[in-house]
């Protein structure tokens, strides 16, 4: 079963961790098993607030901060997932 959480369905927008916390709770996912992929400082702060891993796509909007993981293409994500 897939779950899509859109901005219209959440109580608090990013950078509040509400949506990520709901997914963790509903699917019993440990925070260290989550990689939030985003392109803005709001995404980065949301991941920090939820205490989950974050990967920043370099083709996105945010450029003024230094996340630990930066990716240049989707193929860069291979090293972060077990298939």
Per-residue pLDDT reduced to its tens digit, 20-40: 998 899 889 999 999 999 999
Report the pLDDT averaged over residues 57-61.
85
Question: From the CB of residue 13, how many other CB atoms can be counted at a distance below 10 Å?
Answer: 11
pLDDT of residue 62: 73
pLDDT of residue 65: 74
Q: What is the pTM of this model?
A: 0.83
CATH superfamily of 13-74: HAD superfamily/HAD-like (3.40.50.1000)
Q: Calculate Rg over the CA atoms of the chain.
A: 13
């Amino acid at each position: 079963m897939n779950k899509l959480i859109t901005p219209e369905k959440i109580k608090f927008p990013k950078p509040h961790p509400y949506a990520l916390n709901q997914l963790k709770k509903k699917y019993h996912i440990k925070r260290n098993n989550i990689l939030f992929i985003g392109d803005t400082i709001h995404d980065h702060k949301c991941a920090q607030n939820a205490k989950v891993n974050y990967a920043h796509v370099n083709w996105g909007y945010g450029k003024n901060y230094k996340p630990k993981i930066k990716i240049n293409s989707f193929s860069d994500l291979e090293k972060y997932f077990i298939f």
